[in-house]
Amino acid sequence: MVKPALAYLDIVREIKDAISLPMAVYNVSGEYAMLKFAGMNNLIDYDRVVMETMVSFKRAGTDIIISCHAKEVAKMLQRV
Domain ranges of the chain: 6-79
CA gap 54, 27 in Å, rounded: 9
| 35 and 53 Cβ atoms separated by less than 8 Å | yes
19-47 residue pLDDT tens: 999 999 999 999 999 999 999 999 999 99
Q: 45-73 pLDDT, tens per residue?
A: 999 999 999 999 999 999 999 999 999 99
DSSP class of residue 25 equals E
Q: What is the pTM of this model?
A: 0.89
Q: What is the mean pLDDT of residues 5-14?
A: 94
Residue 80: predicted pLDDT: 78
Burial class, 44, CB count within 10 angstroms (exposed 0-12 / middle 13-18 / buried 19+): middle
CB-based contact 27:68 (threshold 8 Å): yes
